[in-house]
Structure 1
Amino acid sequence: MSAKYVTTSFQKKVTPYLTTFNDAEKKQFYLDADEAVKELVSMGKDPKQVLWVMQSIGLYLYGNAGKNFYVDYQKIVLSDTCVLWSMQPPGGGCIHLFQTPEGKLLIDAGYGVNYDDWLKTLADLGLGDFSDVKYVLCTHGDADHVGMTGHMPVPPFVHPTTKEILENGSRSFASTNDLVLLEHVYTTTVNTFSQLAFPKEYILSKTDPLRMRGIFPVIDEIRFAGLRFEVWESLGGHLAGQLFFYEPEVGLLFTSDAVLNFATLTPWRLVYGSIPDYLITTVNINSEIGRYERTELMKLAGELDAELRKKGQRLRLCCGHGAVSVLDEAGRLSVSDPVIHYSRRRHTERLHDLFTKVSWRIKRRFI
């Protein structure tokens, strides 16, 4: 079969992002990508724009790596011995890092392409490196939440379905969208372009419910350095096997990608984050369930916050993307702690022009 849409020019542009592929794998990727473009064209999308959006994944990730890497972070002192650092990279999900005398615990692990950037960032912030990480808790199997797990000194804690998704190579597991090809090509593109470092081993969560929190089964518990995380199983709106983590003593709810504080995302993060909507039509494998989950999470968050207020505390919602937030009097997300910008250097005009071009191409469709 010959490619109709994936031109030699496109192949040359994305080849630098396919560093883990041999020639046969590259050929298969181009053929699969061509079929994906064909499917999107049948939905009324322009083939040249589709190829540009695919290429822009690599352009954005590599353009914001190295000297151009930056982080917006919140340093939240939980006790004399425990500090939560919630850190937003240029693209992808937040990394939530607990700093304790017993070592570090991470919730989610960012893109693999930024591993060296994170090492420099942690050192600059006085956090050392990842060598003393004792736990890596992953909310779900998208590359921006599991991408560095293969570089960590301990296996990641994941839902069994997340292990299946990573081993099978497609986020379409249990999807109701009937877009298997698009999901497969998108997963391969992002995993490869972002240099996902696959773990060799996993720590699998339990799956039998211990009790319920609202509509969510509590299926496991993680204890570390005086912290106690309840592990909640999602209903699978965003991705099958997605987990939420709740620490009741200090009042932290990690909502993964079920609840995001969009108002705190920069324009560039919003544009980059809209790419899945363009290439796979929706970021959720079941949008109806995703909306229901968010409604129930916010309802439950309000109830938990009311209980914590009786003890003089507040519930912090640690989102998959965006700033750690509390609920305001109207039940909306409001930034809880100061956000500090860390950057190795200011963006160049060239990068500004690039992102403006990305914005012009795709922002008009979904922001």
Structure 2
Amino acid sequence: MMLDTGFLKRIAPYIEPLTKEELAEYIAEGEESVRIREAEGVSPAEYLQLVENIGLYLGKTTGAGFDSHYQKIPLRNDKTLLVIQLPGGGNMNVFLTSEGKMILDTGYGCYFNDCERMLRSVGAGDFSDVKFVVCTHGDADHCGAAGHFPVLPVMHPVTKALLEDGSRGYASPNGREILEKFYTTTINTYSRMNVPATVRFCKTEPIGKRGLFSVIDTFAFADMRFEVWASLGGHIAGQVFLYEPDEGLLFTSDALLNFATLTKERADYSSIADSMIGSVNVNSETARIERRELMRIAKELDSELKLTGRRLLICCGHGAVSILDENGMLSPYSEPLYYAAGSS
């Protein structure tokens, strides 16, 4: 048995929420995942250390160890976009408006209280006035705290089906279903995913096009109106992108990342999923097509906005909010500020 008693004892605090039946299934899937990755050159010891490292990292970056880099971006009509780079996982985007807050991607469930303490520390109140929550896709670092907010989150119907299925590989057969399932159970459980049983669905029928992407819905909040674009499913099924033309904001979810702006610790943590599964994208070729198309569209939108004296702000799933530099590469829009729980 590769998931031996010593290993199971070390990860016991992280898998506590699993029922006896779920634990038995988790162990069986873990055993098979170890065998699959060993045949691909990852030793059992290395693989199991990756699994344990998820729990160790989340544990040390929650509570007193929580820190983040963040950008406060002024918008029209006294609104502010607060983009928080969480210590593990993707960004939480918080719109501060006179009509309350909008959250675009929630971060892990285990970071919810830390994020609320951070908001208070930086003078942004708390989450009690959140009026609208959008989850761009079903990975735990983008929807895992959705159940903590006072409103039902909005997501693509496929995202909800994926969450109910329990595998980020749902609807995307790629021959790595066991690896996808074991990783999903690991990250969802360790990060204390909390998604409500009832959610709100975005529409799915195309109403327009943005390049290769279908525009499937629009969301309105405060004086903003977001276009919802359906991804091609390269990273994960059900992923959506959002564009707000008046503010010039493009939210690319995990199809575009500014990896260069991550700290080494966050970059190392982000690499665990790739090492466990083989690729964090369920279809790598489709993901490459998405990245190229998003960059192409971004250049077009940026050129249009420049005519009005503005720039397109590319809000990546991970890393700093960016603009395109003279070489067409992602460059931080502003210098991120730093927050640490211990110094607040």
Normalising by structure 2, we get a TM-score of 0.98
Partner of 1:337: 334
The SS at the match of 1:28 is helix
How is 1:142-157 mapped onto 2 (pairs within 5 angstroms)? 142-157=139-154
CA contact (8 A) 1:115 1:148 kept: yes
**Retained in 2: the 8 A contact 1:174–1:285?**
no
d(CA) in 1 for partners of 2:174 and 2:162?
A: 16
1:227 aligns with 2:227: no
- Residue 29 of structure 2: aligned partner: 32
2:260 maps to 263
Q: Return the offset for 1:176.
A: 4.3
Give 1:173 deviation, angstroms: 1.5
Alignment pair present for 1:202 and 2:195: no
2:106 aligned to 109, 117, 130, which one?
109
2: distance between equivalents of 1:203 and 1:272? 31
Matched, 1:52 2:39: no
Residue range with higher mean Cα deviation, 136-145 or 168-177? 168-177
Structure 1 residues 249-268: Cα deviation after superposition (integer angstroms, max 9, x where no partner): 01000000001111101111
After TM superposition, the structure 1 stretch with the greater mean CA deviation from structure 2, 181-190 or 41-50, is 41-50
User: Aligned partners of 2:167, 2:56: CA distance in 1, in Å?
Assistant: 22
Comparing 31-40 and 95-104, the one that deviates more: 31-40
Q: CA deviation at 1:237?
A: 0.5
Does the CA contact (< 8 Å) of 1:155 and 1:200 recur in 2?
Answer: no
* Structure 1 residues 131-150: aligned runs within 5 Å: 131-150=128-147
Q: Which amino acid aligns with 1:302?
A: K
Give the one of 295, 299, 306 matched to 2:296. 299
Q: Distance in 1 between matches of 2:300 and 2:28?
A: 50
Residue aligning to 1:352: none
Distance (Å, rounded) in 2 between the aligned partners of 1:164 and 1:340: 37
Find out whether 1:182 has 2:179 as its counterpart.
Answer: yes
Q: CA deviation at 1:170?
A: 0.3
**3-state SS of the aligned residue for 1:136?**
strand
Q: 1:340 corresponds to which letter in structure 2?
A: L
SS at match of 1:189: helix
Aligned partner of 1:327 among 295, 302, 324:
324
Secondary structure at the counterpart of residue 242 of structure 2: strand
Rounded Cα–Cα distance in structure 1 between residues aligned with 2:157 and 2:23 = 29
Q: CA deviation at 1:179?
A: 0.6
Indicate the larger mover: 321-330 or 24-33: 24-33
Residues in 1 aligned to 2:11 and 2:174: alpha-carbon distance in whole angstroms = 27
The alpha-carbon deviation at position 200 of structure 1 amounts to 2.3
Report the counterpart of residue 96 of structure 1 in structure 2.
Answer: 93
Aligned partner letter, 1:214: G
Contact 1:254 1:320 in 2 (8 A): yes
Q: 1:349 matched to which residue of 2?
A: none
Question: 1:249 aligns to what SS in structure 2?
Answer: coil
- Write out per-residue CA displacement over residues 111-142 of structure 1, whole angstroms, 9 at most, x where no aligned residue: 00111111211111112211111111111000
**For 1:181 and 1:126, how far apart are their aligned partners in 2?**
44
Question: Of 232, 236, 241, which residue of structure 2 is paired with 1:239?
Answer: 236
Q: How many residues align?
A: 343
Secondary structure of residue in 2 paired with 1:273: helix
| Cα shift readout 1:40-73 (whole Å, capped 9, x = no counterpart) | 1122221011111000000001111110101100
2-side partners of 1:268 and 1:100: how far apart?
33
Q: Contact between 1:235 and 1:289, CA under 8 Å: does it hold in 2?
A: yes
Residues 137 and 156 of structure 1 are in contact (CA less than 8 Å); yes or no, is this contact kept in structure 2?
A: yes
Q: Aligned pair 1:285/2:282, yes or no? A: yes
The alpha-carbon deviation at position 274 of structure 1 amounts to 0.6
Counting only pairs closer than 5 Å after superposition, residues 56-67 of structure 1 correspond to structure 2 as 56-67=53-64
Identity of aligned residues (%): 49
Q: Which moved more, 1:234-243 or 1:114-123?
A: 114-123
